[in-house]
Amino acid sequence: MATAQSSITWEHRASFQNRPPGRPYFYQSWNNLLFMHWRFDPQEIQRMLPRGLTVDIYNDFAWVAIVPFEMNRIRPRGLPALPWLSYFLELNVRTYVIDENGTPGVWFFSLQANRQLAVTLGRALFRLPYWCSEMRSDRTSDGWFDYRCRRAADPMRQSYRYRWRPDGETTEAALGTFEFFFAERYVLFSMRADGKLSTGRVFHPPYRLQNVDIDECDDVFLRLDALGQTGSAPEHAVFCSGVDVEVFALSVVG
């Protein structure tokens, strides 16, 4: 299998930072994001991808992320955000891919959310593997985030905890770095009911990333998504306080 790392240039990756043409489908904000990454054998991840996608690699490894965060101010174009309905928690499990047109993007193994309507719409409109979950997020006076998540369908019926605190200056990811590789992604892929691959664009300012101290985390969602638990701390972790996002409609790849 040819490695995706060598098939596209960094300049090509950077071109997706430009806003796509057309009008957004939705507006939303992603806040208080913790990116935790574990490395995997690329062939192991490739076996879990649909036809038409190739695992994207950095330093000869595939990377899988667990990303807990807050979804805020979600609203369709032309409508205001609504109390309660437009605000919820999400935790996603994702990897990095390239399609046959050389488009770098994200493939989601799962997305946990604590709002039933968000799960229903995410599955129906974007064909994404959302799961109903019990979740909560608190922040202490000294800056620690305490985030808990339990997937309703988890037979263990346990709540898993992520506790972290951002530290240091914020910076944008530099071209060629691992931070640019994973953070500067503006395309998602999903599988339609007819088996065809679809793609959607988002646009937002580049993430401003911070180092982070992690006091507690769990990689159980890797097991729930059939990736297998590593039993180790993440290889890499950073924090972002948030970005405002424009979401564009899905289109069929090809």
Is 27 part of a structural domain of the chain? no
- CATH number of the domain bearing residue 83: 2.40.400.10
Helices assigned H by DSSP within the chain: 10-14, 42-46, 116-126, 178-183, 220-224
Is 24 part of a structural domain of the chain? no
Percentages helix, strand, coil for the chain (3-state, rounded to 5) are 15, 50, 35
Is 103 part of a structural domain of the chain? yes
Residue 15 CB partners (closer than 8 Å, separation 6+): none
Is 20 part of a structural domain of the chain? no
pLDDT (tens digit per residue) in 193-241: 888 999 999 999 999 999 999 999 999 999 999 998 888 899 999 999 9
Which residues in the chain come in under a pLDDT of 70?
A: 1-6, 254
Which residues on adjacent β-strands are paired with residue 213?
A: 165
Is 26 part of a structural domain of the chain? no
CB–CB of 65/95 below 8 Å? yes
Q: By residue range, what is the domain housing residue 37?
A: 4-15+33-252
| Predicted pLDDT of residue 3 | 42
| Predicted pLDDT of residue 6 | 52
Is 21 part of a structural domain of the chain? no
| Predicted pLDDT of residue 94 | 98
pTM for the full predicted model:
0.94
| Predicted pLDDT of residue 254 | 67
| Predicted pLDDT of residue 230 | 84
| Predicted pLDDT of residue 79 | 85
Is 123 part of a structural domain of the chain? yes
What's the structural domain count of the chain?
1
Is 25 part of a structural domain of the chain? no
